[in-house]
Amino acid sequence: MDFSDWITNKYIQWPGDKRGNKNQTAYARWLKVPQQVVSDWMKKGGTIPHKAKYVNLLAVQYPEIYDVLDLPAPKNHDAFSALPPDFRYRLLQAEKEVNHVLRDRGLTGSDPEAEQITIATFERWGFKYTSTEIVPDDDSHPN
């Protein structure tokens, strides 16, 4: 099956957006890509996403896209592939924002300010922070 057949089948299986709209424009909005790009993908013999940006956006909804396009999957996406798509999207966006802010401020994850930035950012993306004590498993420690 080529990419245009694969993405067309995904569109057919897609239930529609939250308001019940099921058209290419709503599908493109759901994928977070331009409608013309989706239209080009769905044409028989149409374009194949080569830009990492589009591949990564497709991966939010369809983690198997890397296999479909015969591309190596980024390691940090593998851990989140079983999560619901919207949750995974928000998690990855929050992570990206935290990394950007820390880099811009010249901070590392061990800086005290980094924890507050991380908490605030994740809360803006809909995640509630609860302080817990982390007790690692015995086999998680290096010898």
Per-residue pLDDT tens over the stretch 15-28: 887 888 899 999 99
Asked whether residue 13 is domain-assigned, the answer is yes
Q: Are residues 56 and 107 in the same domain?
A: no
- Picking from 86, 29, 61, the residue whose alpha carbon sits closest to that of residue 37 is 29
Question: Mean pLDDT across the stretch 73-88?
Answer: 72
Query: What residue has token string 């308001």?
Result: 19
| Same domain, yes or no: 61 and 108 | no
Same domain? For 15 and 66 the reply is: yes
Q: What is the pLDDT of residue 141?
A: 45
Q: What is the CATH number of the domain that holds 48?
A: 1.10.260
What span, in angstroms and rounded, lies between the C-alpha atoms of 123 and 74?
25
Please check whether residue 140 lies inside any domain of the structure.
no
| Cα atoms found within 13 Å of the Cα of residue 27, Cβ hemisphere only | 20
| Domain coverage including residue 12 | 3-71
What is the number of domains present in the chain?
Answer: 2
Residues 108 and 57 in one domain: no
- Does residue 78 belong to any structural domain of this protein? no
Judged on CB neighbours under 10 Å (0-12, 13-18, 19+), 60 is buried
| pLDDT band at residue 72 under the 50/70/90 scheme | confident
66 and 9: one domain?
yes
Is residue 136 in some structural domain? no
97 and 37, same structural domain? no
Range from 7-16, 42-51, 126-135 that averages highest in pLDDT: 7-16
- For the record, the structure tokens of 67 come out as 């296999």
Task: List Cβ neighbours of 57 (8 Å cut-off, separation of 6 or more).
Answer: 31, 32, 33
Q: Is residue 114 part of a domain?
A: yes
Q: Is residue 53 part of a domain?
A: yes
Do 65 and 119 belong to one domain?
Answer: no
Residue 42 lies inside a defined structural domain of this protein = yes
Inside any domain, residue 137: no
Instruction: Indicate whether 96 and 127 sit together in one domain.
Output: yes
Give the type of residue at 94: A
